[in-house]
A and B are shown apart, each in its own frame.
Chain A
Amino acid sequence: MTQLSAGEIRIALIGAAAVAAAAMLPVFDQGFYLTLSLNIVLFAALCTAWTLFSGPTHYISLATAAFFGLGTYSVALGIDVLPFPVLVAAGGAVAALLAGLVGAATLRISGVYFVIFTLGLAELIRQIVSWTQVKLGASMGLYVFTDFSEAHIYWMMLALTVAVFATGWLITRSRLGFALQIIGNDEQVARHCGIDTARLKIVLFMISGAFIGMAGAILAPRYSYVEPPAAFSPTVSFLVVIMALLGGTRRLWGPLVGVVPFTIVMEFVSARFPNDTPIVIGLAFLAIVFVLPDGVLGRLEQLRARLRRSRPASPAAVAAKEPA
């Protein structure tokens, strides 16, 4: 269990090389490509964190925008008082707390209630934040002035993404991950094995929420002016669901396959046809359900399995194609 297999070491090396290459990017470009890459890394962190919870449990969480906004707000409120790393941690903690509360209220019952609850969560939090700000006599918006350049934010986000991946990998190796696998396959069986399914799901949702909150906190300096409608924009939640499902949620790195192309597409659409983003999002959802129910990765694996069946290759070729 604790021993690393050769395959895992290879994946770790490839991953490290990819991260190192990605970290070099700001050296070459500080403009368009850095902005685009920051978006890609941001959604990579969000979607992978989302998949940590929604992948094994199959619950569709739409709480991303709420966690993300709380992270952003933690930084915006405390930037003049506390150091930035403390605020990022605080953003994660507040998001985890909210995730715990939502989980405790809904994850004990059926999954439908969870979806409905998270559907309006960002809007609810936005209403409460706006109302509190008005009651306290503060202005609606908050300024976030820092010395961070876009490159700094990019590096921090990249580090967070690595942390999400590492956590995801550690979870799959732990008792928690093993239990989750059973829950994902059959919850009834899991309960009979003596697994406290509700508690596990809540813990996992809190971990996932904490990372999303931290991503929001790290991104806060980019906005420089934070107000509730922008910070709690519900579109983020839906984009995360689309990208993660587009890639495939069966593997930890599955969402990446959806994040990279879809971020580029969205960038293009919002630059050229800013009013038609809802139509693109709608078509993407329909495409996922009707064309790619298991994501691009699932489709590729299906194709590979069909190829292997139809053309019984030599044993050596099969061994070479064996998944890493």
Chain B
Amino acid sequence: MEILVTGILLGGTYALIALGLTLQYGVARIMNLANGETLVAAGFIAFWLFTSYQVSPLWGLLVIAPVAFAVNWAIYVWLLRPLVDRAKNQGMLEVDSILATFGLLFLFQGLMLRSFGGAYVSYTFLAERFTIFGSPYGLNRVVAFLAAALIGASLWSFLYLTRRGTAVRAVAVNPHSSNLVGIDVAGTAALAFALGGALTACGGTLLSTFYTFNASMGVLFTIKALIIVIMGGVGDVRGAVLAALILGVAETSVASLVDPGLTLSATYALFILVLLFRPQGIFGRQQT
């Protein structure tokens, strides 16, 4: 039971990160391998705001999310759109965007190493006991989960209840047909990419309240997020949330039952299962 609750609490934050990636990959068609760096950068900014100005990470979100939105929008428009325009087919775009975002990954990592050093960082925020079903949990984890759920719910209402959101979903299904019905595909892709970056940054901020991180950890989160996205089906919001919760629980079980050093193996085990039995994802439909 404790494992289940801890896993779900962790999974909530993972879901936010994976939702960010699924928007970037599913809608903007860019496999953003620098996603984890956005997350870690957000964590560092939250850390800096909290330790230097005593700004609570929850208020920090109000600063971090818009900044991440702007930065990711700029990255998409200036750096990635030229690649989209020059690519002759999806395969070429994939290779180009993978290489370009590798570049961003190392660039951001290097800049963070310069500004914050390579040491592990954490800060104490809401480290109080909070009891669920008779067992104590960190209040910061519970708060992070609730905040993640709130942000996730607003994303859902944006995607399913507004015109803009419907356009985003249409582009995810088929960019060409969306263009035919008068959707600004290029603008929507930029919006989705920027929104994805902002969501990831929110995930990073929330994660930093209870997690110890350092400048070179981004890749690990990118892998986790990618695997969640594939498990849930690319571009699928429900799938990403469910897969994130599954991954959170699987990781927590391995960490507490076997060894904390083996969490990545849990991730890979799930990945292999998905590849073997359901490569299109939990809710994904078979490609024709």
A residues apposed to B, CB below 8 Å: 58, 60, 105-106, 109, 111-113, 115-117, 119-120, 123-124, 127-128, 130-131, 134, 234, 238, 241, 245, 275-286, 288-290, 293
Contact = CB atoms under 8 A, between A and B. Distances in A.
Contacts of B99: 60, 241, 245, 285, 288-289
A289 B100 contact: yes
15 contacts: A105-B275, A113-B230, A117-B275, A119-B222, A120-B219, A123-B223, A124-B265, A124-B268, A127-B263, A131-B261, A275-B113, A278-B106, A280-B110, A285-B103, A289-B96
Given A234-B219, A289-B99, A124 B110 contact: no
B31 interface: yes
B268 A277 contact: no
B275 A127 contact: no
Contact of A282 (B110, B220, B272, B275): B110
Contacts of B216: 278
Contacts, number: 117
Contacts of A116: 223, 226-227, 230, 271
A2 B143 CA distance: 71
A128 B57 CA distance: 35
B102 interface: yes
A269 B148 CA distance: 41
Contact of B262 (A120, A131, A280, A290): A131
Interface residues of B, number: 46
Nearest to A113: B275
A107 B34 CA distance: 24
A292 to B, nearest CB: 11
B55 interface: no
* 8 tightest A-B CB contacts, nearest first: A285-B103, A282-B107, A282-B106, A279-B110, A278-B110, A286-B103, A120-B223, A281-B106
A112 B263 CA distance: 23
Nearest to A287: B103
Main secondary structure of the interface of B (DSSP, over half): helix
Interface in B97-143: 98-100, 102-111, 113-114, 118
Contacts of A234: 219
A113 B107 contact: no
Contacts of B259: 131, 134
Contacts of B182: none
B95 interface: yes
Contacts of B110: 275-282
A258 B220 CA distance: 28
B62 interface: no
Nearest to A58: B95
Contacts of A290: 82, 100
A163 to B, nearest CB: 29
A109 B279 contact: yes
A283 B111 CA distance: 12
A158 to B, nearest CB: 30
Contacts of B95: 58, 60
A284 B216 CA distance: 18
Contacts of A127: 261-265
A119 B223 contact: yes
B105 to A, nearest CB: 7
Nearest to A60: B98
Contacts of B270: none
A281 B105 CA distance: 9
Contacts of A123: 219-220, 223, 264
B276 interface: yes
A245 B82 CA distance: 20
A115 B106 CA distance: 17
B54 to A, nearest CB: 30
Contact of B31 (A58, A112, A288): A112
B103 A283 contact: yes
Nearest to B25: A112
A234 B219 CA distance: 10
A105 B276 CA distance: 7
Contacts of B147: none
Given A111-B91, A120-B220, A279 B107 contact: yes
Interface string B1-45: 000000000000000000000000000000101000000000000
Nearest to B83: A289
A319 B271 CA distance: 54
Nearest to B104: A282
